[in-house]
Structure 1
């Protein structure tokens, strides 16, 4: 029997996600679409494709009846199935959704206000329990945000008496806006990436080409659904492939990382994705002897690893820890992506073990990719993030001249292809600079008519595969040499037993007309008591000097949770630097002499 994807591939067109859901609701109505694991373990709530299609239709007609079609709305939801219903309901009724993180502090509420203003939104969509909790914490949401707040799980939204004709204007097309994806890494005003239905379908098609989802596949996802990686892997890809998706809240993973692996084993997960630090956390759990009940991981075919430079040691530690549990080394699939490309840019081949090249540390500091033997003193491993698929092109470019770089030079990663988003909403100058860059020849003239996405990330190509070195704006330049902060941070993390993965941030600040290197390190009470803050500082300084020949001027030891991070757990270096320069980070003891 022909499947939905067979129809599409045989000339059935490139549908929107709502149209894809409609087809699945007809073809496989009783198949499980999404399951939410309460506390990361209890599969208390699920949706079949028919149930989801019906719920989406009800919400879409309700939005249309309220005159919201063609408007923007901010979505504030905890992890759960109501987010999935509402997101697809917005898409079906041409409401441009701008999903955001549930606020934890008043500063998060202010960020939502800025996003709403940028998106041109007058409405916030949420669910009743979330609204009541937020109002208990912050006060009346409508007063705080200056927006109309609607509960999509309330009685009005659940009514099925809105005439179907209310909605039936033109259905969304492939070039219509499906989503505004707000970037999370900047300390400035958030920018909304305009993602079309065509972008979504192109990206998930490319992902499926790299990491095929067979009919018997299953997704397990703990990443936040409002963010690009969690949305693509947790919501969009399963809908595309017609396979069940088991979802859990990020907090369930952070509190006990083994829950993620237990869910993969229990529900025979084949596809799951996470940033590098999550694999490090799981390896630490195993090293502490707390992974005995994880179960059999042999079903896991694609362990996508991305969203930040992938640490080679994290790959090796995780693989060694979980091969005894049935994990196959070739299931680890490093990749590279960003919201401005919808998500995925490159990915490693499925069923092939990850690879890395070792670079001369001296050449790396000079911006060159000089490959050396792994046994060379000071050699630095850089993990391959794999290849593109036909239709998407990656170039390495000198960001100052816009000329292509020689093969052994590290430059900015530029991307051309169908997954590149349309623009930043309402920001023509930033959009032109980021989304419509042109390669130049030696005379400074455009090479051809193609335009590229400037990613702001640094890397190089080797044997056709992309290797990511770091963020251009985070680069530490000391005495004319380049240092990548993630390398410095890793040395700090490994310097003291008891420090957690992803617990350090390195950046440079100007003081007395000189550049000073600062390291902010999170430590829990047990680690501080075991080593003392001064000993901890000394070990961090010594490790960074030994590995990188860099002198750390200031080490600030802060409590766990003080370093700002994105919703998926990545450190926010510029936000951390802003807190440091504003005096808003509290040292656990007297500051070191450089402070």
Structure 2
């Protein structure tokens, strides 16, 4: 791979993504770069590396001619290939691109407005089809956002009143901004993670070292293209390796999860990634006889599985369900990552089956790691998220003292290395707190001076591998004991037939001076009719008590889709708690019959 990158070093140092694309366009112009599968199945839209390089160059010149270099812009696109050309065009012209999810509700528009305000964006880049759709939904989009809305789907020179392509555009350097990756903003204004070209290339190089992409490789992805995992695995990694990437809309997967597996089998994909809940959805579809004939999955070498944490049962259920289709257990690769580290931090190497340690639930409640036999009553599996590679270092730190923890002790996960993003855009105080952490020695004195990224996640190191326990701020402390909400949520999800993976949220609220446990569970009409709301609540309460010796003070049954989630489908516990406390979640029992 080093020889491939020789021609993309603008200053003799770290390469850039746009330089890499230029090289691909010159050396393999007729090779397929990206294919978009309409309805998750029809490959009627594609770009070769030569076509993509040309489209990116046109857009980069256009943006530079408009004076956008050094400015920010919001990218708002439906799933498809125009997003990729525009994103790389922004990177190539020095425009700090802030990708966002296409809005479906007014609150989504407000989020875009907040991101535009935070980033200082002067323009929203989109395409004709989406602009018309949004104007039908929300009225005059320009007036609504107070920004210039530019349509990039047509050749820029053909648009009335728009400057045509100008002269050569200066190549970006490795420390230039490649992307503003905005966080969910579930507890306040979203923050823009500043990702440089050097961050992107370092992260994809580490990913390739862990999960190598051979020249015969192929990627399939349904992940949102504006999300960190979808962008790295669906867009950046294929560009790095010079291999084709087959993309589909997230909705195509959600409507029928088997489409993802069918595409992997059809296009002989070697690499594909998803959060843990996606593997659970596929396993459930198989158990219900809805997976169909997905085809041969033996080509799949890296099934990256990223979540905080990865569920051991999800790994086991998926592997067992699809072993008859050629899926190999060692292809499942759990990992851990976050936008503030560009993405990947650790991962389990390919060609090795995933591992887990079984812990005493009683000891976990006291914040201790006590490894027990899997058959021990109350034993809880915690999946290994693997190791770091290259220059990335992970430390487990006591968040109160900033002192390092020994192996098999739970603490906050701190990260350092070339993949750690530069900062939060325009937020020096938050940046210093998150990206400028420093460790202290046993006597409380400053350590070696190295700065670390504080992830806010809890975990421990065992046998040199990272095991993630959960989010520090989501930890539920009840009567002096620690409870990890994802464990309670899993018990709730499995309490009754018909409940879906990733459909429950557990959090604590203060009532009358006491902490109360609230469990919110999504249920569809079929499940409610099969069990009844009273029975469903009783099942959830019983499951939580049986597995955790914990009483759920409130069980709220809500419609599917009522629980707020991130763009990648992860539940947002704090946002859900806010909705609950503000009375914005409607219990199914309160709805009129038939609704």
Scaled by the length of structure 1, what TM-score is found?
A: 0.97
Residue 542 of structure 2 aligns to a residue whose secondary structure is helix
Which position in structure 2 is the counterpart of 1:324?
A: 324
Please tell me whether the aligned partners of residues 258 and 282 of structure 2 are also in contact (alpha carbons under 8 angstroms): yes
Which position in structure 2 is the counterpart of 1:36?
A: 36
Which position in structure 2 is the counterpart of 1:234?
A: 234
Which position in structure 2 is the counterpart of 1:560?
A: 560
Which position in structure 2 is the counterpart of 1:449?
A: 449
Structure 1 residue 290, shift from structure 2 partner = 1.7
Please tell me whether the aligned partners of residues 72 and 120 of structure 1 are also in contact (alpha carbons under 8 angstroms): yes
Structure 1 residue 94, shift from structure 2 partner = 0.4
Which position in structure 2 is the counterpart of 1:496?
A: 496
Distance in 2, Cα, partners of 1:426 & 1:281: 39
Which position in structure 1 is the counterpart of 2:391?
A: 391
Please tell me whether the aligned partners of residues 75 and 125 of structure 1 are also in contact (alpha carbons under 8 angstroms): yes
Distance in 2, Cα, partners of 1:2 & 1:520: 50
Please list the CA deviations of residues 382-402 of structure 1 after superposition, one character each: whole Å capped at 9, or x if unmatched: 000000002110000011111
Structure 1 residue 308, shift from structure 2 partner = 2.8
Please list the CA deviations of residues 261-281 of structure 1 after superposition, one character each: whole Å capped at 9, or x if unmatched: 000000000000000000000
Please tell me whether the aligned partners of residues 61 and 162 of structure 1 are also in contact (alpha carbons under 8 angstroms): no
Please list the CA deviations of residues 458-507 of structure 1 after superposition, one character each: whole Å capped at 9, or x if unmatched: 00000110000000010001011110000000000111011000010000
Please tell me whether the aligned partners of residues 392 and 415 of structure 1 are also in contact (alpha carbons under 8 angstroms): yes
Structure 1 residue 590, shift from structure 2 partner = 5.3
Which position in structure 2 is the counterpart of 1:404?
A: 404
Please list the CA deviations of residues 108-127 of structure 1 after superposition, one character each: whole Å capped at 9, or x if unmatched: 10111110010010100001
Which position in structure 1 is the counterpart of 2:196?
A: 196
Computed over aligned residues only, the root mean square deviation of the Cα atoms, in angstroms, reads: 1.8
Residue 182 and residue 317 in structure 1: after superposition, are their counterparts in 2 closer, same or farther (change >3 A)? Answer: same
Structure 1 residue 3, shift from structure 2 partner = 5.8
Please tell me whether the aligned partners of residues 306 and 336 of structure 2 are also in contact (alpha carbons under 8 angstroms): yes
Residues 1:264 and 2:258 are matched in the alignment: no
Distance in 2, Cα, partners of 1:499 & 1:271: 30
Residues 1:280 and 2:261 are matched in the alignment: no
Which position in structure 2 is the counterpart of 1:131?
A: 131
Scaled by the length of structure 2, what TM-score is found?
A: 0.97
Please list the CA deviations of residues 284-307 of structure 1 after superposition, one character each: whole Å capped at 9, or x if unmatched: 010011223100000000000003
Please tell me whether the aligned partners of residues 508 and 517 of structure 1 are also in contact (alpha carbons under 8 angstroms): yes
Distance in 1, Cα, partners of 2:8 & 2:372: 47
Which position in structure 1 is the counterpart of 2:4?
A: 4
Structure 1 residue 588, shift from structure 2 partner = 0.7
Greater Cα shift, 560-569 or 193-202: 560-569
Residue 386 of structure 1 aligns to a residue whose secondary structure is coil
Distance in 1, Cα, partners of 2:500 & 2:87: 35
Distance in 2, Cα, partners of 1:185 & 1:408: 32
Residue 215 and residue 530 in structure 1: after superposition, are their counterparts in 2 closer, same or farther (change >3 A)? Answer: same
Long gaps (5+) in structure 2 = none
Alignment of structure 1 residues 464-483 onto 2, 5 Å:
464-483=464-483
Please tell me whether the aligned partners of residues 4 and 27 of structure 1 are also in contact (alpha carbons under 8 angstroms): no
Distance in 2, Cα, partners of 1:471 & 1:143: 39
Distance in 2, Cα, partners of 1:77 & 1:308: 28
Which position in structure 2 is the counterpart of 1:166?
A: 167
**How many residue pairs are counted as aligned between the two chains?**
589
Which position in structure 2 is the counterpart of 1:461?
A: 461
Which position in structure 1 is the counterpart of 2:301?
A: 301
Please tell me whether the aligned partners of residues 424 and 431 of structure 1 are also in contact (alpha carbons under 8 angstroms): yes
Residue 589 of structure 1 aligns to a residue whose secondary structure is helix
Which position in structure 2 is the counterpart of 1:27?
A: 27
Alignment of structure 1 residues 39-78 onto 2, 5 Å:
39-78=39-78
Please tell me whether the aligned partners of residues 14 and 198 of structure 1 are also in contact (alpha carbons under 8 angstroms): yes
Please tell me whether the aligned partners of residues 8 and 20 of structure 2 are also in contact (alpha carbons under 8 angstroms): no
Alignment of structure 1 residues 521-560 onto 2, 5 Å:
521-560=521-560
Which position in structure 1 is the counterpart of 2:289?
A: 289
Please list the CA deviations of residues 346-375 of structure 1 after superposition, one character each: whole Å capped at 9, or x if unmatched: 000110000000001011111111111111
Structure 1 residue 584, shift from structure 2 partner = 0.4
Please tell me whether the aligned partners of residues 58 and 158 of structure 1 are also in contact (alpha carbons under 8 angstroms): no
Distance in 1, Cα, partners of 2:548 & 2:140: 51
Which position in structure 2 is the counterpart of 1:150?
A: 150
Structure 1 residue 568, shift from structure 2 partner = 1.1
Please tell me whether the aligned partners of residues 335 and 346 of structure 1 are also in contact (alpha carbons under 8 angstroms): yes
Which position in structure 1 is the counterpart of 2:349?
A: 349
Alignment of structure 1 residues 78-157 onto 2, 5 Å:
78-156=78-156
Distance in 1, Cα, partners of 2:34 & 2:146: 33
Greater Cα shift, 109-118 or 284-293: 284-293
Please list the CA deviations of residues 378-421 of structure 1 after superposition, one character each: whole Å capped at 9, or x if unmatched: 00000000000021100000111111113232100000000000
Which position in structure 2 is the counterpart of 1:519?
A: 519
Long gaps (5+) in structure 1 = none
Which position in structure 2 is the counterpart of 1:367?
A: 367
Distance in 1, Cα, partners of 2:547 & 2:251: 34
Residue 336 of structure 1 aligns to a residue whose secondary structure is strand
Distance in 2, Cα, partners of 1:477 & 1:76: 40
Residue 166 of structure 1 aligns to a residue whose secondary structure is coil
Please list the CA deviations of residues 149-186 of structure 1 after superposition, one character each: whole Å capped at 9, or x if unmatched: 00001343568x97765343x31000001110000152
Greater Cα shift, 182-191 or 461-470: 182-191
Structure 1 residue 578, shift from structure 2 partner = 0.5
Distance in 2, Cα, partners of 1:575 & 1:104: 18
